[in-house]
Structures are given as C-alpha cells and as structure tokens.
C-alpha cells in the first residue's frame, strides 16, 4: 500500500502525491541520508510542483482556446 493512500493519518504538509509531500514524508521518517541531499531534493521538488501547476494552467488554456472563447490572431 502506498503511504499517500493513508493521508488521513498525516499532517497536511505530508498529504498528497506531489513531490513536496513525498519529501516532507521522507524528512519526517528520516529516510534520506544527508542534509545536502535534502536541500537538493527540496529544490527539485518545488520545481517539479511548479512545473505541474504550469502544465495544468497551459492545459486549461488550451481547452479554453478549443472552445472558441479566445481568438488567436492569424498571420
């Protein structure tokens, strides 16, 4: 069973399946080796979460464009 499936037992910052939540769970259960690795992974997780948000926004914008709500200028 995936730990993310037991979110009810975890604090809010550790819930979910995004990279930051996974890192917070790893830090809480002391499963990562060095502090330098934690800093590096935290930065990568924040980047990953931001990229997911950007991709979702882009996907939603594309959906709006296909609905004909936004007209793009043609060359």
Q: Could you report the per-residue pLDDT of 23-46, keeping only the tens digit for each?
A: 777 777 776 566 777 788 889 989
Kindly tell me if the per-residue pLDDT of 66 is higher than 50.
Answer: yes
Mean pLDDT for all residues in the chain: 74
Burial of 27 (0-12, 13-18, 19+ CB in 10 A): middle
Q: Is pTM beyond 0.95 here?
A: no
Q: Please give the backbone phi and psi of residue 31, each rounded to the nearest 5 degrees, phi first.
A: -100, 0
**What are the domain boundaries of the chain?**
3-66
Record the tokens describing residue 56, joined without a space. 């979702």
Per-residue buried b or exposed e for 59-72, using 16+ beta carbons within 10 Å of the residue's own CB? eeeeeeeeeeeeee
């Amino acid at each position: 069973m995936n730990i993310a499936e037991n979110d009810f037992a975890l604090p809010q910052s550790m819930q979910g399946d995004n990279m930051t939540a996974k890192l917070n769970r790893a830090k809480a259960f002391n499963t990562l080796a060095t502090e330098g690795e934690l800093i590096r992974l935290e930065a990568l997780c924040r980047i990953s979460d931001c990229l997911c948000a950007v991709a979702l926004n882009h996907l939603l914008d594309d959906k709006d464009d296909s609905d004909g709500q936004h007209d793009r200028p043609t060359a």
